[in-house]
Amino acid sequence: MKLHEYQSKNIFSKYGIPIPKGRVATTAQEAKQIAEELGGRVVVKSQVLVGGRGKAGGVKLAKDAAEAEQLATQILGMEIKGLPVRKVLVDEASAIDQEIYFAITDDRAAKKPVMIASAAGGVDIEEVAATTPEKIIKIHIDPLLGLREYQARDVAVAIDLPRDYWREFTKIAMGLWEVYKNTDASLAEINPLVITKDKKLVALDGKMMIDDNALFRLPDLAEMRDTDEDAPAEIEARKYGLSFIKLDGDIGCMVNGAGLAMTSMDVIKLFGGEPANFLDVGGGADSKKVAAAMRIILTDPNVKAVLFNIFGGITRCDEVARGILTAMDEVKPTVPMVVRLVGTNAEEGRKLLENANMITAETLADAAKKSVEAAKKGK
Partner 1 sequence: MSILVDKNTRLIVQGITGNEGLFHTTQMAAYGTNVVGGVTPGKGGEWVLDGKIPVFDSVKSAKDATDANATIIFVPARFAPDAMFEAADAGIPLIICITEGVVIHDMMRVSNYLDQKKVRLIGPNCPGLLTPGEAKVGIIPGNIAIPGNVGVVSRSGTLTYEVLYAMKNLGMGASTCVGIGGDPVNGTNFIDVLEMFEHDPQTEKVIMIGEIGGNEEEKAAEFIRTKMTKPVASFIAGQTAPPGKRMGHAGAIIEGGAGTAADKIKALEAAGVKVAKHPEEIPTLL
**Separation between Cα atoms, residue 166 and residue 60, nearest integer Å:** 31
| Selected catalytic residue, list 99, 189, 240, 319 | 189
Instruction: Decide if residue 371 touches partner 1 (CB under 8 A).
Output: no
Instruction: Decide if residue 143 touches partner 1 (CB under 8 A).
Output: yes
* Strands 359-360 and 305-312, sheet pairing: unpaired
Instruction: Decide if residue 257 touches partner 1 (CB under 8 A).
Output: yes
> Which residue among 67, 211, 236, 286 contacts partner 1 (CB under 8 A)?
211
Angle at 337 between CA 236 and CA 376, to 5 degrees: 105
Instruction: Decide if residue 344 touches partner 1 (CB under 8 A).
Output: yes
Residues paired with 319 in a beta bridge = none
Among positions 39-98, residues that touch partner 1 (CB under 8 A) are none
3-state SS assignment for residue 127:
helix
Instruction: Decide if residue 142 touches partner 1 (CB under 8 A).
Output: yes
3-state SS assignment for residue 161:
coil
Residues paired with 45 in a beta bridge = 59, 89
Question: Are 217 and 209 a contacting pair, CB within 8 Å?
Answer: no
Confirm whether 236 is a catalytic residue: no
| Selected catalytic residue, list 101, 180, 240, 319 | 101
Instruction: Decide if residue 313 touches partner 1 (CB under 8 A).
Output: yes
> Which residue among 95, 259, 301, 357 contacts partner 1 (CB under 8 A)?
259
Q: Using CB under 8 A, which of the segments 18-26, 200-208, 239-247, 350-358 binds partner 1?
A: 239-247
Q: Using CB under 8 A, which of the segments 131-139, 141-149, 167-175, 289-297 binds partner 1?
A: 141-149
Could you tell me the smallest distance in angstroms from the CB atom of residue 166 to partner 1? 28
Could you tell me the smallest distance in angstroms from the CB atom of residue 177 to partner 1? 12
**Contacts of range 193-196, beta carbons closer than 8 Å, 24 or more positions apart:** 193/99, 193/100, 193/101, 193/102, 193/121, 194/94, 194/96, 194/97, 194/98, 194/99, 194/100, 194/121, 194/122, 195/96, 195/97, 195/98, 195/100, 195/165, 196/94, 196/95, 196/96, 196/97
Confirm whether 240 is a catalytic residue: no
**Separation between Cα atoms, residue 222 and residue 214, nearest integer Å:** 9
Question: Are 109 and 91 a contacting pair, CB within 8 Å?
Answer: no
Q: Using CB under 8 A, which of the segments 53-61, 131-139, 140-148, 170-178 binds partner 1?
A: 140-148
Residues lying near partner 1 in the complex (CB under 8 A) are found at 106, 108-109, 111-113, 126, 129, 142-144, 181, 184, 186, 211, 213-214, 216-217, 243, 245, 247, 255-263, 265-270, 275, 278, 280, 283, 311-314, 342-344, 363-365, 368
Catalytic residue annotation: 101, 189
